[in-house]
C-alpha cells in the first residue's frame, strides 16, 4: 500500500504474474510444437501409404501406374481416353500427362480410392520447360488425392526435377496446393523451411536437395521468401523471418 492510499503490485505479486505469463506462453509454444509434430506424422503416414500402393501395383502388374504400356488389357479404355502421351513404359511417371492416369490406375487396381480423370476438361496443351506440351493441371480432389494432413493440398505423382538445375530424375510424391492456372502441378507451398527441416531430419538427411525427402521453393511462388538458401546450396533457410514462412513444396521419393 502506498502512502497516498493507492494500492499497487508488490514485487512478489509482479513475480507471480510474470511466472503465469511465462507458463501460458510456454504452454502455447508446446501445444504448437505438438500440432506441428502431429502434422508431420500425418504427412509421412500418407506418403508411406501411397508409396506402398505404388509398390503393390508394380508387383502385381509389372509396370508403374500411369506408365505401364497396356492398361486397356486390364481396365479397358475410359470415356476420356488414357491421354495422348500416357503409358510409354519407360519406367518414368511424367507428372504432366502420366501422373493423373497413375492415380486412376491405382484406383482401378483397388490400391487407393477410385478417381476418375476427365482428360477433356483438366488436360490439354500447356506451356512447359521445353515449350508446348500436353499435360493436366493439378487439381486436388479431381485428378489427385487430397491430403488429410494439409487440407486443400494434393499429392502429385511423377518425375521431379529436384535440386533445381541438377535434374535428378526420380519418381516422387509431391505435396502442394493446386494453382488453378496452367501450371501442371499442385505446387503451392505447404510447409515452412524450419518445419521442412525438422521433418527432413526425422526421416532423412536434413538437406533439401538430396535423399528420400526433399523440399524446394514452389515453382508457382518463385521469389521471396525462399525455402532453401539458394539454388546451388543444399541447405534450408533456418534464420530470419523467412524460416517460419510457408514457402516449401515437399517431394518424397518412391524409391528406397
Q: Domain extents for the chain?
A: 20-253
pLDDT at 8: 63
pLDDT at 163: 38
pLDDT at 182: 46
**Residue-level pLDDT, tens digit, the chain, 256 residues:** 445 555 666 877 777 777 777 777 766 666 666 777 788 888 888 988 999 999 999 999 999 998 888 888 888 877 666 766 678 888 888 777 788 888 889 999 999 988 766 555 555 544 444 444 445 666 787 778 888 888 888 888 887 544 343 445 578 888 887 654 444 567 788 899 999 998 999 889 999 888 888 888 776 655 557 888 776 678 899 988 888 888 888 888 886 6
Task: List Cβ neighbours of 180 (8 Å cut-off, separation of 6 or more).
Answer: 137
Q: Which three cell numbers stand for residue 118?
A: 476427365
| The dihedral sign for the CA sequence 81, 86, 87, 92 | negative
What is the pTM for the complete model shown? 0.76
**Which residue is it, cell 507458463?**
23
For residue 166, CA distances in Å to 186, 210, 232, 244 come to: 22, 11, 9, 26
Cβ distance 103 to 145 under 8 Å? yes
Helix (H) or strand (E) holding 250: strand 248-253
How many CB atoms lie under 10 A from the CB of residue 120?
10
Backbone phi, psi, residue 42, to 5°:
-65, -40
pLDDT at 133: 46
Q: Which three cell numbers stand for residue 137?
A: 493441371
Torsion of the alpha carbons at 202, 206, 208 and 214, rounded to the nearest 10: -30
pLDDT at 164: 41
Beta bridge partners, 214, equal 251
pLDDT at 166: 40
Helix (H) or strand (E) holding 141: none
pLDDT at 197: 92
pLDDT at 32: 67
CA 62 – CA 57 distance, rounded (Å) = 8
Amino acid at each position: 500500500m502506498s502512502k497516498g492510499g493507492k494500492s499497487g503490485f508488490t514485487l512478489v505479486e509482479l513475480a507471480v504474474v510474470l511466472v503465469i505469463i511465462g507458463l501460458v506462453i510456454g504452454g502455447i509454444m508446446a501445444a504448437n510444437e505438438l500440432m506441428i509434430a502431429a502434422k508431420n506424422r500425418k504427412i509421412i503416414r500418407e506418403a508411406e501409404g501411397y508409396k506402398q500402393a505404388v509398390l503393390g501395383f508394380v508387383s502385381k502388374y509389372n509396370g508403374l501406374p500411369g506408365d505401364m504400356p497396356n492398361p486397356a488389357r486390364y481396365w479397358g479404355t475410359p470415356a476420356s481416353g488414357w491421354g495422348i502421351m500416357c503409358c510409354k513404359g519407360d519406367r518414368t511417371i511424367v507428372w504432366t500427362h502420366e501422373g493423373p492416369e497413375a492415380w486412376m490406375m491405382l484406383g482401378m487396381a483397388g490400391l487407393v480410392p477410385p478417381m476418375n480423370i476427365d482428360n477433356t476438361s483438366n488436360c490439354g496443351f500447356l506451356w512447359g520447360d521445353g515449350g508446348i506440351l500436353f499435360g493436366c493441371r493439378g487439381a486436388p480432389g479431381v485428378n489427385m488425392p487430397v491430403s488429410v494432413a494439409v487440407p486443400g493440398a494434393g499429392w502429385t505423382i511423377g518425375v521431379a526435377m529436384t535440386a533445381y538445375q541438377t535434374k535428378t530424375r526420380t519418381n516422387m510424391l509431391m505435396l502442394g496446393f493446386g494453382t488453378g492456372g496452367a501450371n501442371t502441378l499442385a505446387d503451392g507451398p505447404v510447409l515452412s523451411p524450419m518445419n521442412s527441416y525438422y521433418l527432413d531430419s526425422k526421416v532423412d538427411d536434413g538437406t533439401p536437395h538430396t535423399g528420400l525427402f526433399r523440399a524446394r521453393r514452389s515453382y508457382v511462388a518463385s521469389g521471396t521468401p525462399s525455402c532453401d538458401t539458394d539454388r546451388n546450396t543444399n541447405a534450408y533457410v533456418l534464420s530470419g523471418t523467412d524460416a517460419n514462412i510457408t514457402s516449401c513444396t515437399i517431394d518424397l521419393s518412391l524409391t528406397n
